[in-house]
Amino acid sequence: MGSIVWIVIALAIGSTALYVYTVWYRARLPALEMPPGEELPATHLQRYAGWTLLEVGFLTALAAAIIVFFGPKAWWSQDGVRITVTIILLVALASYLVFYMAIRKLRDRDDALVDERDLVILNRSGAGVGGAMMAVMAVWMIALVEAYNDTGMVPSYYLYLVFWSLVMTNVIASLAGILLAYRRA
Amino acid sequence: MAPKAEIRNEVRRLRFEHGQMTQQQLAERIGCTRQTVIMLEQGRYVPSLALALRIAHAFRTTVEEVFTLEAD
């Protein structure tokens, strides 16, 4: 099987496991009672994290689509592909930085737009980042071994792709962790 | 070992006894978000000591009047 198929299978299994765990965890919490027709108001941190996750997710998917379309080898052989993908990923990282700085600024304000519960959730949100990075690393390992076991040599450009995928996994897992922590809180 | 305990609060009752104060008004007074007030009232969030004191001050009462420790 190709490495892309392995990655899709691993992501599908990981997402399903996460979804089942979240549903199971929420079922244990006491039901949230809200007046009819009213929803739990989202906090600023929740809204910003959601928008940044959409933005970073879209940019990462775009970068991945370019690499899949041109093939991983294009990272090495075509400067245009490498520069375009790098710029897209740097813009995604800049979005995350802007989000982080905005939250720090809100935290320091007196009008409590980010309060102590938000900070507890923010601290708790990183719990799954290590696991997500290990899962991505495992997928890469399996995919590369499957694809290059016969030759015994993995092309060096994959190191860059592994690096960038881990960086983006860190960012996406951090943002998704905030949203999940609110659902579990 | 201390028994497992649950912290209950009277925030919702006190809010209504203080001129039907809205959740948003209380949130602004104690320096937190409305979501935190909702979670507090439904027992899904236990506040820090500082926030507990601010809640008590907002209702001009003591922390013990707002929060009680209930052992299993």
In chain B, at which residue ranges do the beta strands (DSSP E only) sit?
Answer: 5-9, 67-71
Query: Which structural domain range is residue A149 located in?
Result: 3-184
Record the pTM: 0.81
pLDDT digits (tens, 9 = 90+) for A63-92: 999 998 998 888 888 999 999 999 999 999
Task: Name chain B contacts of A47, Cβ cutoff 8 Å.
Answer: none
Residue B45 — left, alpha, or beta (φ > 0 → left; ψ -120 to 50 → alpha)? beta
Amino acid at B58: A
Q: List the domain boundaries for chain B.
A: 16-63
The torsion angles phi and psi of B5, rounded to 5 degrees, stand at: -130, 155
- The domain tally of chain A equals 1
Chain A residues touching chain B at CB-CB below 8 Å: 29-30, 32-34, 40-44, 110, 112-118, 185
Chain A nearest-CA distance from B27, in A, is 9
Q: Is the CB of residue B25 less than 8 Å away from at least one CB of chain A?
A: no
Residue A111 pLDDT > 80, yes or no? no
